[in-house]
Structure 1
Amino acid sequence: MAERTRIASLDGLRGLAASAVVFAHIRFFYPVEAYWLNVDVGDEAVALFFSLSGFLMAALYSQRPFNAADFMVHRLARIYPVYFVSLLVVFALTAIYGTDYIYPIIGLKEMVRHVIMLGSSGVYWSIPPEIQFYLYFLLIWLWIERPERYSWVPIVTVIALVVSVFFGFPGPGILLPSKLHFFLFGVIAGRLHVRNLLPADGLFAGLAAIGLLLFFFLGRAFFPTGIPFWGSYSLAPSLTAAVIVYLCAGGSRLPDRLLGVGPLAYIGKISFSLYLLHLPVLFLGMTWFATMLGALPALVLSLVLAYCVAALSYAAIEAPSRTYLIGLWKGRIGRRGDEHASGTRAG
């Protein structure tokens, strides 16, 4: 239901999406004669991440008083420390292995692009539109809080969406216009959720959530159309992803029990580290162990290591750095409040 502060089923959905990305990248390191290894679900997984982001921004912040600085500090504290560490890892692997590394970051210019979140090597292409959406969400948040004053925001948003649909969501994938619809449908789903306008806590909603999720991931594999996932035809996937997120968050027992408990929910917690670091771990694992153990045992060991490294990264980098940076921010705000109060009393 809308009043839940943490939605365990969405943790599991995030864990499933992160694991789908890992699965999609196996083909870079292992012979793919087996049909099931040729199923590419990476695009669908990233689409779910985008929709989840829009949903959670709306669900977490749209009912709070507007505070842009606090919002951006919390968002950047959540993603940037482990993002930066992963960049250092990839930069080091590029220096050691050169272009043999699967997605190298070559030269200082490319490194700077990635540091300022405008890079596109490997999985990093999805980070720039995420950050750009954070900035755009501030406008949406202002409109939700003060609709009379910011009535132009939905108008501009609809125009931008219509133009993007008309031109087939053109432009580089690292720019928000090409992915805006995924975030916006997620925001709409998040607002519907917090206002409980369309309850989705029944058995039918749960069955629909799981059925639609399976279809979303496996539909193109069993019914190939040859139609690209992104670009002109991505309006349907963006709407589907938002519906899946909405139904999974609705409180129905089925998605809660299948997605919200056990290892899958934990993988959701460490999903960002897994997303950023699985390629370096798989590359090193297959480089070091394939000759010694054989391809399949090396792959299994590398996959286990990828999840272990993600768990370690979450415990040693993500969680403590976020706590530390947010603590610094809150301490600074507190000191400002004390100084203001002292100045008021002195005056």
Structure 2
Amino acid sequence: MQEKKHIASLDGLRGMAAAAVVFSHLDLIFPSLAPFMITGVGGRAVAIFFALSGFLMAYLYGDRPISRKAVADFLVSRFSRIYPVYLVAVLVVAVLSSIPGFDFINPIHGSKEILRHILLFGSTGVLWSVPPEIQFYLLFPLIWLFFSNTRRYQAIGVLLAGFLAVDALDGFSGPGILLVSKLAFFLLGATVGRLQPLLNDRLDGITTGILALTLPFFILISNHLFPNADNAWGLAPAFAAALAVLLVAQEHRISAAVFAAAPMRFLGKISFSLYLFHEPVMFLMRNVLSSALPLAIVVPAALAAALLIAWISYECIETPARRALVSRWHERGSKALANPQPIPAAERRQV
């Protein structure tokens, strides 16, 4: 099977979303910046993350043969990509929270709370978004099975659509750490991800480029523009997020000039570590520097430190942990299978 094209612009879209989350938390670290903030940016950025995750899973796996081994490889690959660095982030927050008088923002106190987060039932700070992501990975093999033969497994498609409809009528209720409350973003993202190979670059007009460039930024400020919307996590924003991902994935020259640019792609590469560690890093920088330097210097220094630590985390935690766990998994599999299949290069780069 021909290997999937790496979509560079999606790296930049992920980087933009990560930068938006960091921006949205500036007033949490530096309260004096609150008057200059735009409401809802962080939540909308996470919504784009969720739609992008659904898109990539369907794009990379949707037309690949499915088997027990393929599913096992998929789950190990995704777990090794997410959990090790997430676990380090949980421990870092727990340590900072345990320092007397430190008053760390979004703390994790006590062994019970630490265990909840380790078991992916915690919701402190940015860590709340990891449990629904993992839950979607567990659901995706069912979606994958449907994609593998839509006629034979049409009951799965009908069941998923019906559940989504009921979930929408209920207002996507439930704790944010449960997949049902964010299901629309993942499913609609997966739907357009499956459509992507079928488009064959047909969406190549200038309108596509302009929308691909502007829609993601419009989504980020949509909560501010429409503060009275009934459900910030409903079907409408899910549709918008999925459409934005699909349009950016077309890599029109107008949008690619921004999203496929090297700085944006770098942000995309380190985005998960930046997402996980920017709060503790910026909090520490504020505590160390704010008494000696003006805010105009402390804020850029804190942002630079967050980027540096995210890059170090990517190089020293994310990448080595993923490679070690996946390599060990394939070594075990090679004892039973003569020709274990490696992870495609496009997947290694894209997700």
Q: TM exceeds 0.5?
A: yes
Note the aligned Cα RMSD (angstroms): 2.1
Q: Distance in 2 between matches of 1:224 and 1:142?
A: 38
Corresponding residue for 2:51?
A: 51
Q: Secondary structure at the match of 1:336?
A: coil
Normalising by structure 1, report the TM-score: 0.91
After TM superposition, give the deviation of residue 150 of structure 1 in Å: 2.9
Contact 1:12 1:264 in 2 (8 A): yes
2:19 aligned with 1:19: yes
* 1:133 pairs with one of 125, 132, 136: 136
Unaligned runs of 5+ in 1: 341-347
Instruction: Assess, with a 3 A threshold, how the Cα gap between structure 1 residues 98 and 49 changes in structure 2: closer, same or farther.
Output: farther
Q: Distance in 2 between matches of 1:115 and 1:270?
A: 22
Q: Distance in 2 between matches of 1:4 and 1:252?
A: 18
Contact 1:59 1:190 in 2 (8 A): yes
* 1:211 pairs with one of 214, 223, 232: 214
Q: Secondary structure at the match of 2:98?
A: helix
Q: Distance in 1 between matches of 2:260 and 2:42?
A: 21
Q: How many residues align?
A: 336
Contact 1:169 1:177 in 2 (8 A): yes
Q: Secondary structure at the match of 2:37?
A: helix
Q: Distance in 1 between matches of 2:190 and 2:275?
A: 23
Instruction: Assess, with a 3 A threshold, how the Cα gap between structure 1 residues 241 and 103 changes in structure 2: closer, same or farther.
Output: same
One-letter code of the match for 1:268? G
Query: Greater shift after overlay, 302-311 or 3-12?
Result: 3-12
Q: Distance in 1 between matches of 2:239 and 2:310?
A: 30
One-letter code of the match for 1:226? N
* 2:228 pairs with one of 214, 226, 229: 226
Q: Distance in 2 between matches of 1:99 and 1:178?
A: 33
Query: Greater shift after overlay, 2-11 or 281-290?
Result: 2-11
Query: Greater shift after overlay, 27-36 or 101-110?
Result: 27-36
Q: Distance in 1 between matches of 2:33 and 2:139?
A: 44
Q: Distance in 1 between matches of 2:101 and 2:121?
A: 21
Instruction: Assess, with a 3 A threshold, how the Cα gap between structure 1 residues 38 and 257 changes in structure 2: closer, same or farther.
Output: closer
Q: Distance in 2 between matches of 1:238 and 1:170?
A: 15
Q: Distance in 2 between matches of 1:257 and 1:140?
A: 33
Q: Distance in 1 between matches of 2:115 and 2:14?
A: 29
Corresponding residue for 1:77?
A: 80
Corresponding residue for 2:346?
A: none
Unaligned runs of 5+ in 2: 341-351
Normalising by structure 2, report the TM-score: 0.90
* 2:171 pairs with one of 168, 172, 192: 168
Q: Distance in 1 between matches of 2:19 and 2:142?
A: 33
Q: Secondary structure at the match of 2:251?
A: coil
Instruction: Assess, with a 3 A threshold, how the Cα gap between structure 1 residues 97 and 305 changes in structure 2: closer, same or farther.
Output: farther
2:298 aligned with 1:295: no
Corresponding residue for 1:65?
A: 65
Structure of greater Rg = 1
Q: Secondary structure at the match of 1:337?
A: coil
Q: Distance in 1 between matches of 2:235 and 2:265?
A: 28
After TM superposition, give the deviation of residue 70 of structure 1 in Å: 0.4
Q: Secondary structure at the match of 2:336?
A: helix
Contact 1:98 1:104 in 2 (8 A): no
After TM superposition, give the deviation of residue 23 of structure 1 in Å: 0.1
Corresponding residue for 2:343?
A: none
2:127 aligned with 1:121: no
Contact 1:82 1:273 in 2 (8 A): yes
2:102 aligned with 1:96: no
Instruction: Assess, with a 3 A threshold, how the Cα gap between structure 1 residues 271 and 150 changes in structure 2: closer, same or farther.
Output: same
Corresponding residue for 1:182?
A: 185
2:157 aligned with 1:154: yes
Instruction: Assess, with a 3 A threshold, how the Cα gap between structure 1 residues 238 and 337 changes in structure 2: closer, same or farther.
Output: same
Q: Secondary structure at the match of 1:64?
A: coil
Q: Distance in 2 between matches of 1:55 and 1:167?
A: 24
User: Mapping of 1:214-293 within 5 angstroms?
Assistant: 214-221=217-224, 223-227=225-229, 230-231=232-233, 234-293=234-293
Instruction: Assess, with a 3 A threshold, how the Cα gap between structure 1 residues 99 and 239 changes in structure 2: closer, same or farther.
Output: farther
Indicate the percent of aligned positions where both proteins have the same amino acid: 44
Instruction: Assess, with a 3 A threshold, how the Cα gap between structure 1 residues 338 and 291 changes in structure 2: closer, same or farther.
Output: same
Q: Distance in 1 between matches of 2:230 and 2:190?
A: 24
After TM superposition, give the deviation of residue 226 of structure 1 in Å: 2.9
Per-residue Cα deviation, 1:81-115 (whole angstroms, up to 9, x for no partner)? 11111111011101114671111111111111111
Contact 1:32 1:38 in 2 (8 A): no
After TM superposition, give the deviation of residue 72 of structure 1 in Å: 0.3
Q: Secondary structure at the match of 1:96?
A: coil
Instruction: Assess, with a 3 A threshold, how the Cα gap between structure 1 residues 34 and 167 changes in structure 2: closer, same or farther.
Output: closer
Per-residue Cα deviation, 1:135-163 (whole angstroms, up to 9, x for no partner)? 11110111111435433211211121111
